[in-house]
Amino acid sequence: MAGRGSGRIYKCVVVDLNTQRDFCNLGGAYPVTNLLELIPALRHMIAWAKRNYAPVISSIESHRTSEVRSDALPSCCLDGSSGQRKIDFTMFPRRTRIEVDNTLCCPIDLFGEYQQVIFRKRTDDLLANPKADRFFTQLPGKEFLLFGVSLEGSIKALALGLLARNRRVTVVTDACGYWTKATADLAVRQIVAKGIRVITVDELLRSRLDRSWRYPTARAIRHQRDVLNRLNGNGRRGASPRSNPVQGRRPGSPLRAGMSNPDSDARSSDT
């Protein structure tokens, strides 16, 4: 994030909740009921965010193998499992992941460097993660655009939580997965009654954001790495860490507290 001191305010922050293999794949542990309709809608949402250079906050459901669930739902999104990983097309070239450690230590300038910031969550409510709560609270965004999984669970909880923090919230209903249609319809009526705006993907696609701020594309990042590798191969071993045009950090140097290695995040879709 550019930070309040920079004067930059984000017109629209896209929030992508739990678009993971266990939920969004027919072979997953617990696929949503409307999966066939959901996947094309998710592709449209990601394409719109990329085309408009919108900042993106993503969450991944995260459960321990030793966790005892209070409901009868199947085990899913277990730490380290392939089902916990986000589906590939929802991963942005410039991304970082903030790990859970029950502290508030979270850099507040992440969108100045990354387009996608990924948080883990252990419950339906993403704001139960102290770092995510702080990040949402301090982010200077005019509107938060929610989609993902599930409408009756995580999306409803986050929408109401952001509303309680006096944030403007919009839910793209046909880009939201659900397990029970009746419960999902009830959730929509409840959030609408609270004053939260709901739209469709088609309505969103007719809008566009100011694209004066642009993040590097995947091709540009690869080109930057190739140039850096060639320079390092020509005997420039004493280069400053700031000479790295991709991360501004010497590989292997210490990370800021609570952050995953952005070098590995930017090369793979493993979350």
**Is residue 143 included in any domain, yes or no?**
yes
Specify the pLDDT at position 227: 74
pLDDT at position 107 is: 84
Q: 178 and 32 in contact (C-beta within 8 Å)? A: yes
Position 28 in a domain = yes
Q: Give me the tens of pLDDT residue by residue for the chain, a chain 271 residues long.
A: 344 445 578 999 999 999 999 999 999 999 999 999 999 999 999 999 999 999 999 999 988 887 766 566 778 889 889 999 999 999 999 999 998 887 788 888 899 889 999 999 988 999 999 999 999 999 999 999 999 999 999 999 999 999 999 999 999 999 999 999 999 999 999 999 999 999 999 999 999 887 666 666 666 666 666 777 777 765 444 444 443 434 444 334 444 545 654 444 433 344 3
Cα–Cα distance measured from residue 231 to residue 209, given in angstroms and rounded to the nearest whole number: 37
In a domain, 222, yes or no: no
pLDDT at site 249: 42
Distance of alpha carbon 36 from alpha carbon 47, whole angstroms: 18
Q: What pTM was estimated for this model as a whole?
A: 0.78
40 in a domain, yes or no? yes
- Domain that residue 59 falls in: 4-66+73-205
How many domains is the chain built from?
1
- Tell me if 41 sits within 8 A of 151, measured CB to CB: no
Q: Is residue 219 part of a domain?
A: no
Q: Does residue 214 fall inside a structural domain?
A: no
Tell whether 155 is covered by a domain: yes
Task: Give the pLDDT of residue 68.
Answer: 63
| Cβ–Cβ under 8 Å, residues 126 and 132 | yes
- 93-122: b (≥16 Cβ within 10 Å) or e: bbbbbbebeeeeebbeebbebbbbbbbbbe
pLDDT at 253: 40
Is residue 228 included in any domain, yes or no?
Answer: no
CATH code: domain of residue 154: 3.40.50.850
